[in-house]
Amino acid sequence: MSAAALAALIRERQPCVVLTGAGVSTESGIPDFRSPTGIWVEVDPFEVASIRAFRHDPACVWSFYRQRIDLLRQAEPNAAHHAIAELERRGLVEAVVTQNIDTLHSRAGSRDVVEVHGSVRSAQCPGCLWSEPADDVLAQLETRELPSCPHCGEVLKPGVVLFGELLPAGALERATQLARGSRLLLVVGSSLEVWPVAGLPLEAQAFAIVNRGPTTLDDRALLKVDAGAGDTLSAVLESLAS
């Protein structure tokens, strides 16, 4: 019933932009961050994933990210990623703004993906801004603690936004423009706790939310579906086809 209502909203309120968080990838076996089984229960993000940690002890940050990159690259897109890509192919979704760094939207076939927290696709050189593909970073880490820039020798930084860093300005501006231009922002798998992304729904004309558990904006959504992303979006596709 709620999937049918969501399908109707997507059909009626074009253009529609999708905003995704960790909840869209948990069905791919990727743990989220803040739930009781999340990553930050076991490790302190400020010790392994902050810009401060990177400056003081980059080897510690890279030992954490090397495992993350390995895990994320083994994961496969799930029904939710595939459904979002299919909605884009059908012209019903303009773009996907994601907080996720796992690249699963692109791998599922989504074409216009705005990765506001960066991704594990590559690592960046803080010196000359060279972008080193993840394969080459992992190859370097086979034999040494820290990957370095092949051009200027500086220690590479993971291609993701670390705690204490600003979001990439271009990506955030594009995300804000997409939200403002949309008649429906569809939030999937985010509890909308991490700013500034959590403020994007308020930039849109209206928004709907698919998320297990409460979010900070439930009472302002046109529709809230408290269920898994894969099941819900698969049902939305079926409803749109009928």
Answer whether 132's CB lies under 8 Å from 147's CB: yes
Q: What's the rounded Cα separation, in Å, for the pair 5 and 239? A: 9
Q: What's the rounded Cα separation, in Å, for the pair 133 and 122? A: 4
Site string for Zn ion, 63-102 (x = CB under 5 A): ----------------------------------------
Contact status: 56 vs Zn ion (CB under 5 A): no
Give the contacts of 49 (CB within 8 A, at least 6 positions apart): 61, 64, 65, 162, 163
Q: Specify the stretch interacting with Zn ion by CB under 5 A; choose among 39-47, 59-67, 128-136, 234-242.
A: 128-136
Contact status: 127 vs Zn ion (CB under 5 A): yes
How are beta strands 118-124 and 157-160 bridged, if at all?
A: antiparallel
CB of 155 to Zn ion, least distance (A): 10
Q: Specify the stretch interacting with Zn ion by CB under 5 A; choose among 46-54, 90-98, 154-162, 176-184.
A: 154-162
Q: Specify the stretch interacting with Zn ion by CB under 5 A; choose among 7-15, 117-125, 184-192, 207-215.
A: 117-125
- Output 47 or 154, the one with its CB closest to Zn ion: 154
- Output 41 or 129, the one with its CB closest to Zn ion: 129
Q: What's the rounded Cα separation, in Å, for the pair 86 and 108? A: 9
Total residues binding Zn ion (CB under 5 A): 8
Catalytic residue among 81, 82, 105, 117: 117
Q: What's the rounded Cα separation, in Å, for the pair 190 and 28? A: 15
Residue 105 annotated to the active site: no
Give the contacts of 147 (CB within 8 A, at least 6 positions apart): 62, 123, 132, 136, 137, 140, 141, 155, 156
Q: Which of 111, 144, 151, 220 binds Zn ion (CB under 5 A)?
A: 151
Active site residues: 117
